[in-house]
Amino acid sequence: EVLLVESGGGLVQPGRSLRLSCTASGFDFDHYAMHWVRQVPGQGLEWVSGLTWDGSITAYADSVKGRFTISRDNAKNSLYLQMNGLRPEDTALYYCGKDALRAAGTPTEGWIDPWGQGTLVTVSS
C-alpha cells in the first residue's frame, strides 16, 4: 500500500521559515515525480510545486516562486518543502502527492495519485 505522511506543519510568524517533510512508503520512491498541493480549509486546491524522480527538474506556482524550494532525498524516501518568507496567505493544509507517471521526464504532465493526509501550516503573528 502506498503511504505518504506529511510532517513539519505548525504555527509560524510572518516572514519566518518552515520546512515540511513527506515520508513515502509502499512504492519505489526514486522512480516517481512528487508534488506539494495546498488547500485553505473550506476552499479549493492550489498546486504549489513538483519535481522529477531525480530532483533534476522542479516547477513552482507563481505565488511561491523564489520563496519555496522543493527537494527530495531518495535514500530516505523523503520529499521536502522549504518555505521561506512566509505570509499569512500561505496558511493552508499542505498535501504531499505522488505523480502517477513512472520515471517521467518532467513533473508537469502527470496526475497526483495518491495524496497524503496533509499537514497544517498557519502563518500568523
Partner 1 sequence: SYELTQPPSVSVSPGQTASITCSGHKLEDKYVFWYQQRPGQSPLVVIYQDNKRPSGIPERFSGSNSGDTATLTISETQALDEADYYCQAWDARTAVFGGGTELTVL
Sites of contact with partner 1 (CB under 8 A): 35, 37, 44-47, 50, 59, 61-62, 95, 100, 106, 108-109, 111-118
CB of 125 to partner 1, least distance (A): 29
Q: Which residues contact 123 (CB under 8 A, 6 or more apart)?
A: 12, 13, 14, 86, 87, 88, 89, 90, 91
Strand partners for 21 = 7, 80
Nearer to partner 1, 52 or 78 (CB): 52
CB of 47 to partner 1, least distance (A): 4
Strand partners for 32 = 102
CB of 59 to partner 1, least distance (A): 5
